[in-house]
Amino acid sequence: MLEELLEKGHKDAQYDAWLINIQDGDQFGSGFVDVNPNSKIPALMDHSVNPPQRVFESGSILLYLAEKFGEFLPRDPAARTETLNWLFWQMGSAPLLGGGFGHFYAYAPEKYQYPIDRYTMEIKRQLDVLDRRLADNTYLAGDEYTIADMAVWPWYGALVTNKVYEAAEFIEAHTYTNVLRWTHQIAERPAVKRGRMVNRAWGDPASQLWERHDASDFELKTLDKLQG
């Protein structure tokens, strides 16, 4: 979202992104808990207001920034409501994808068929919901790219393109053609390409920007540059 705002010319959207290593328990440190008492990432502290405003939960962060900058949330009441419909759909659906399907299919130490089947059916149902919506709409809220797409894409786009859980073949991702079209379309946005690098600590070193404090960091401070 912040990179999209910068792409639109909002200079006040400049930001610092700090890496919170959840494997080391950084999210339980007092400094982070002050920003998000639930100890989950992401969390945001807006120092442009007095007193500084904390914002936690990704949906709340997206809505906060959309209203602050007047972008990616339509002003027309019907389009705004449709955007929020899909934003809150993501908030209710994604835990079933991550904590449910992802856990039992990919991470559980023992494989139990019932929860795998149960969550697979739900994930496929969700993908069908998305696919039918995107059959007649470029984006989730219509023709306009919004915070709803920003919220849903990292979860379901990664699933159907095999970037999480390696389950694309298992869930027959190729059958959700409209979701795939939407996924690839969003992946080509310059701001999305930059945003995916921020706080990334795995994969190709050239795609890892552990901390982001300036636009030049994408060229100068990716892991491959620091190691070289």
In this prediction, residues 128-149 reach a mean pLDDT of: 98
Q: Count the neighbouring beta carbons within 10 Å of the beta carbon of residue 141.
A: 26
Where do the structural domains in the chain lie, given as residue ranges?
1-71, 77-192
Length of the chain: 228
Give percent of the chain with pLDDT exceeding 70.
Answer: 100
198 CB neighbour count, 10 Å cutoff: 18
Query: 78: Cβ–Cβ under 8 A, 6 or more apart, which residues?
Result: none
User: pLDDT tens across 168-187, in order?
Assistant: 999 999 999 999 999 999 99
Tokens coding 147: 């915070």
Q: Which CATH number fits domain 1-71: 3.40.190.10, 3.40.50.880, 3.40.30.10, 1.10.3720.10?
A: 3.40.30.10
What's the token pair of residue 104?
Answer: 């039992």
Average pLDDT over residues 42-49: 97
Mean pLDDT across 65-71: 98
pLDDT of 228 reads 84
Single out the residue of 1, 117, 18 nearest to residue 68, CA to CA. 1
Q: Is the pTM of this model over 0.85?
A: yes
4 class by beta-carbon count within 10 Å (0-12 exposed, 13-18 middle, 19+ buried): buried
- Residue 139: which residues within 8 A CB-CB, separation 6 or more? 145, 146, 148, 149, 182
The pLDDT value recorded for residue 41 is 95
Rounded mean pLDDT, 98-107: 96
Residue 223 has pLDDT above 90, yes or no: yes
Q: How far is CA 150 from CA 29, 54, 139, 174, in A?
A: 28, 20, 10, 22
Judged by phi (left if over 0) then psi (alpha if -120 to 50, else beta), residue 42 lies in beta
The verdict on domain 77-192 having CATH code 1.20.1050.10 is yes
